Chains A and B, each alone.
Chain A
């Protein structure tokens, strides 16, 4: 079984976002990047587990991004994976990102494509489903558990107030969230192997983004926290009523 894992680079969660050029771009300087946690902790690690247990023969990684995303791809390779493909383009439009990946994947006969449920920077959560459509593959979103039985994936997913179990034959795209696998730490062997694993760069041939970003806005500054003496319940009630207007 051949697996493709979609990896995207996102700013570290502790990054303080600074906007520039009239709030149309995000300042890059001083930002450190990580693998999108949903891609890493769940999609990639599950793929590696399937390879370790002999179910998967190949685990390839793909990312859409410019050259500055390579350190993050190599970080993913340090965790595992046989080779990586970087599609040399910006990835701000989810449709275009899906088109690029589909363009690469269509001739590669992947049985299973795993991605995170969303990227924690743009939060579109739509690449997986669009990719399935473009490749004419089935799609299961927001998986919390993935088991493989022969040529079928048995997938649990969260639904409002409960859980659902689906079964679907390959080829298939699954977007992953918490529960699919446990986070791992890259070990020395993996880190040293990352350099030797192939990383191929391909240039996309299409460019028809459906959206473009006009501007960004930062959330309003967080209001300060007021501490109230636990003995002073009356004051708390009064403030919740008069100021916060929640009771």
Chain B
């Protein structure tokens, strides 16, 4: 397809209108020796310190979580991507993602870890002035101080800028006095440093403050009783004229909402890594159990119904992982380019992250829903034992669920995906109009039934993916035209468009990964990965068709609707594949290896 040009470096969101070269993406099969050692340290840490203590952790044994964080800090795991000048190890974003992934298998510990090293540390690291960074970052990186992030309030959740917490300057001008109630604060029970969001006087926007536990006027509620991640400390934090020195205002007045949003962009991508790690662990446990458990005289892993589940768990996980690391690398490259063009490191990181906010939202949704599928089928594979607190699935199932809620609910992230895409188009940052018009023109002309490029192992899938893009441009273009300013309120249509974008991005990331992998290892060593790709993309075509149809049936009418529905059919058409056999092949590999192995 020549109306979509291939460029080396993609900007965020551009995946919808451009092609990416497979050799430009980063794939997890490329981890170097040092990164593998770091991953092994994480695995060993969980095995020695976390796994044997899961019950004690969930009972919130006094001091245990804080001690585990100290242990992780002693190993350097809390400062992996903190710059060396602030006591960290200066590793790139991908490496810190790898750490998040590996520790993601640590249930409640992984939540404490992510909250501390992500939302607990990054606001100060990215927005703090040098004095603030010198004061707090080395101790956060070593674990001497533990961090938490106070944005949510009882009446302000998804609508995060609507909080009631207020700050006013003290009469002598030396302090801000913060009053307000924060809710659902992870790590609150043992945190030493809180990033607190509050509006100064009657400001329209939030400001952010660095608040130490020992500043006057802070009280904590008791621990919340939660469905899962029971070992993670979650409390309400009350600020009652809490005295915060003026030098602890983070960044500029009214810059808080921007901080909150940008930190969440990173958090969402990191949540992707963490949930991928958790998914892999659950799959390994499920395969192991299926190989051990016998019914009707055979291991249940010999039954097709179980093989289907194992394969599907692996397919979704491998696909999610492909997107996580593709986007991580893109973010890093964007940052490097900004630094090269003269921007300072911190601002470059923030802009680079913002660039890939769409991808971050996509990854957050896909990976959290993947983990929920994986744990649900994990319980099923374990049967009655899946329902028993003696076996690991009970905890995995309950712990998974939070991921669809925090870091922006999946509804909010779906809406953001579409909203950001359209806003960029409106601002002229992303040329959707040109490609959308081309697709509209194509609808009127004789369909191109051209076969996929012969002799190219990925010819078909590349063509499908190019067509998915056309399908989305067509439906989104139609929706914008028909609904115009109303579109923002037609949430069902936004959800449909988001689902289409998610499937496109993940399909493409997966296809590019497998293509690169084949170029590294040869086709023969990648048979299962090729199966994973084919099954996933085939299913994605159906999901895109369904979402597109729902949207079109809502807003389009008459001949135009007919034409677009036909177009949609054409753009989501795939050749039949034997997905049953493909899933069996994938399952066979998992069963032989007795663990997640892709």
Is there contact, CB below 8 Å, between B77 and A188? yes
Interface size class of chain B, counting residues whose CB lies under 8 Å from the partner chain: 10 to 19
Contact with A along B34-52 (1 / 0, CB 8 A): 1011101100110010000
- Which of A183, A187, A195 lies in contact with B41, CB distance below 8 A? A187
Chain B residue contacts of A189, Cβ below 8 A = 76, 89
Chain A residue contacts of B33, Cβ below 8 A = 71, 74
Q: Does A78 contact B (CB under 8 A)?
A: yes
A183 to chain B, nearest CB (A): 8
Is there contact, CB below 8 Å, between B45 and A188? no
Q: Which chain B residues in 71-105 approach chain A with CB under 8 Å?
A: 74-77, 79-80, 89
Is there contact, CB below 8 Å, between A186 and B41? yes
Is there contact, CB below 8 Å, between A187 and B74? yes
Is there contact, CB below 8 Å, between A185 and B34? no
Q: Does A192 contact B (CB under 8 A)?
A: yes
Is there contact, CB below 8 Å, between A192 and B89? yes
Q: Does A1 contact B (CB under 8 A)?
A: no
Is there contact, CB below 8 Å, between A185 and B89? no
Is there contact, CB below 8 Å, between B38 and A191? yes
Is there contact, CB below 8 Å, between A185 and B76? no
Chain B residue contacts of A84, Cβ below 8 A = none
Chain A residue contacts of B40, Cβ below 8 A = 75, 186
Is there contact, CB below 8 Å, between B38 and A185? no
Is there contact, CB below 8 Å, between A194 and B44? no
Is there contact, CB below 8 Å, between B34 and A192? yes
Is there contact, CB below 8 Å, between A191 and B34? yes
Chain A residue contacts of B48, Cβ below 8 A = 183, 185
B238 to chain A, nearest CB (A): 37
A195: nearest residue on chain B (CB-CB)?
Answer: B34
Is there contact, CB below 8 Å, between A185 and B37? no
Complex Cα distance, B38 from A194, in Å, reads: 12
Instruction: Identify which of A71, A185, A187, A189 gathers the most chain B CB atoms within 10 Å of its CB.
Output: A185
B71: nearest residue on chain A (CB-CB)?
Answer: A185
- Which of A183, A194, A224 lies in contact with B37, CB distance below 8 A? A194
B292: nearest residue on chain A (CB-CB)?
Answer: A225
B80: nearest residue on chain A (CB-CB)?
Answer: A188
Q: Which chain A residues in 158-190 approach chain B with CB under 8 Å?
A: 183, 185-189
Chain B residue contacts of A187, Cβ below 8 A = 41, 74-76
Chain A residue contacts of B89, Cβ below 8 A = 188-189, 192
Decide if the interface of chain A is mainly helix, strand, loop or mixed: helix
Complex Cα distance, B401 from A24, in Å, reads: 51
Complex Cα distance, B75 from A187, in Å, reads: 4
Complex Cα distance, B34 from A75, in Å, reads: 9
Complex Cα distance, B89 from A71, in Å, reads: 21
B59 to chain A, nearest CB (A): 25
Contact with B along A51-83 (1 / 0, CB 8 A): 000000000000000000001001100100000
Complex Cα distance, B38 from A191, in Å, reads: 7
- Which of B41, B79, B80, B294 lies in contact with A185, CB distance below 8 A? B41
Chain A residue contacts of B36, Cβ below 8 A = 71
Contact with A along B15-35 (1 / 0, CB 8 A): 000000000000000000110
Complex Cα distance, B37 from A89, in Å, reads: 25
Contact with A along B549-592 (1 / 0, CB 8 A): 00000000000000000000000000000000000000000000
Chain B residue contacts of A194, Cβ below 8 A = 34, 37
Chain B residue contacts of A183, Cβ below 8 A = 48
Complex Cα distance, B42 from A186, in Å, reads: 9
Complex Cα distance, B297 from A224, in Å, reads: 11
B94 to chain A, nearest CB (A): 15
B46 to chain A, nearest CB (A): 10
A7 to chain B, nearest CB (A): 15
A54 to chain B, nearest CB (A): 21
Chain A residue contacts of B77, Cβ below 8 A = 188
B47: nearest residue on chain A (CB-CB)?
Answer: A185
Chain A residue contacts of B294, Cβ below 8 A = 224
Chain A residue contacts of B74, Cβ below 8 A = 187
A115 to chain B, nearest CB (A): 23
Complex Cα distance, B79 from A194, in Å, reads: 18
Q: Which chain A residues in 215-230 approach chain B with CB under 8 Å?
A: 224
Complex Cα distance, B143 from A187, in Å, reads: 14
Chain A residue contacts of B79, Cβ below 8 A = 188
Complex Cα distance, B89 from A191, in Å, reads: 11
Complex Cα distance, B84 from A192, in Å, reads: 12
Is there contact, CB below 8 Å, between B38 and A188? yes
A224: nearest residue on chain B (CB-CB)?
Answer: B294
Chain B residue contacts of A78, Cβ below 8 A = 37
B597: nearest residue on chain A (CB-CB)?
Answer: A30
Give chain B's interface residues, CB within 8 Å of chain A: 33-34, 36-38, 40-41, 44-45, 48, 74-77, 79-80, 89, 294
24 contacts between A and B (CB under 8 A): A71-B36, A74-B33, A74-B37, A183-B48, A185-B41, A185-B44, A185-B45, A185-B75, A186-B41, A187-B41, A187-B74, A188-B38, A188-B76, A188-B77, A188-B79, A188-B80, A189-B76, A189-B89, A191-B37, A191-B41, A192-B34, A192-B89, A194-B37, A224-B294
14 further contact pairs, Cβ within 8 A, besides A185-B44, A185-B48, A188-B79: A74-B33, A78-B37, A183-B48, A185-B41, A185-B45, A185-B75, A186-B41, A186-B44, A187-B41, A188-B76, A188-B80, A188-B89, A191-B38, A224-B294
Nearest 6 pairs of A and B residues by beta carbon = A188-B76, A187-B75, A185-B44, A191-B37, A188-B89, A187-B76
